[in-house]
Amino acid sequence: MLEHILALLLLMASLADHAAGLPLRRRRTVLEILGRGEAEARAFVLGMATGAPACGGDVAPEPAPLDDAANLAAGLRVLALALGVLLAQARRVAVEAGPRAGLSPPKPAGSARPWREAPALPAPDTS
C-alpha cells in the first residue's frame, strides 16, 4: 500500500510540474487540488514518522500556498522521499523480525503477478 502512495506522490509532483505551463485559471485549480492532497500526504507521512494519528481527525492540515507549481512539486517529491525511507525501514524491520513477529519480507516481483509467467499469444496472420 505504501508503494502505491509513493507512486501517487510522484505522479502528483509530475502533475504540479505540468500545471506550471497551464493558463492561470487552470493552474490555480490544479494547484489547489494538488495542494490539498499534499497537505493530507504531509500529515500522513509525519504521522507515520512520529507514530501520531495519520490524519488529524477534525483539524485538516493547511494546504501549501498556490503561488508556485515548482515549490509544490518539490514538496511532493520530498514527501515521496521521506515515505520511501520509512518504507525501507519497515522492510528492514520485517526482514529482521521474520515470521515470529507476524511480518513477512516483501515477495519477489514475479510471484505477485502470475499473468506475466503465461506464454505470449501467437501473432495474428496478416497475409
Note whether residue 95 is domain-resident. Answer: yes
Note whether residue 115 is domain-resident. Answer: no
At 82-125, the pLDDT tens digits run: 999 888 888 888 777 766 555 555 555 555 555 455 566 677 77
Cα torsion 92, 98, 99, 104: sign: positive
Count Cβ atoms within 10 A of the Cβ of residue 68 and give its class: 0-12 exposed, 13-18 middle, 19 or more buried: middle
Q: Give the domain range for residue 30.
A: 2-104
At 28-46, the pLDDT tens digits run: 888 889 988 898 888 888 8
**According to the model, what pLDDT value does residue 78 have?**
92
Q: Are 54 and 47 in contact (CB under 8 A)?
A: yes
Note whether residue 112 is domain-resident. Answer: no
Q: What is the model's pTM?
A: 0.63
Note whether residue 97 is domain-resident. Answer: yes
Q: Which residues contact 44 (CB under 8 A, 6 or more apart)?
A: 5, 54, 55
Note whether residue 111 is domain-resident. Answer: no
Q: How many domains does the chain have?
A: 1
